[in-house]
Amino acid sequence: MGNLRITEKGLKLEGDSEFLKPLYAKEIRSRTGNPLYFQSAQNVTVNILNEDSKVLTRLVTGPRAVEAYSQKFQVLTTSGKLLFSADDNEVVVGAERLKVLGAEGTVFPKSIETPNVRADPFKELR
């Protein structure tokens, strides 16, 4: 374990440390100007619990995927504009422009509604 000190504000841990059991903390942060690293051979899981210790939200970063378990998932710009959201009922893309890069394009099994459909400049619309 790295250097562990007890301060007025809590515990201060400097250097590399390994936790073999779950770590519970009100706040974890790095020193100003330094990054905070989490490293694992398997995955890193962050759980958000309610007052009854029931998991409300879970974020799992693993070797093959990043998984988020929640009632709603959102991606926002740094200014707070919604880029993407998903829940049980709908998926919203809030970007000004949606570009599909797949070789086969996209397939809509039911009807769609849009105010504008266009191809890239000098490309045909199919």
CB neighbour class for 15 (10 Å; exposed up to 12, middle 13-18, buried from 19)? exposed
pLDDT score recorded for residue 23: 80
Among 38, 84, 78, which residue's Cα sits nearest to residue 62? Answer: 38
How many Å is the maximal CA-CA distance in the chain?
67
CB count within 10 Å of CB 47 equals: 14
The rounded distance, in Å, linking the Cα atoms of 63 and 74 is: 22
Do residues 73 and 86 lie in contact, with contact meaning Cβ atoms separated by under 8 Å?
yes
pLDDT score recorded for residue 41: 84
Structure tokens at 117: 């459909």
pLDDT, one tens digit for every residue, the chain (126 residues): 567 788 887 788 877 777 888 888 888 888 889 888 888 888 999 999 999 989 999 999 999 999 999 999 999 999 999 999 999 999 999 998 888 888 887 888 899 888 888 888 998 887
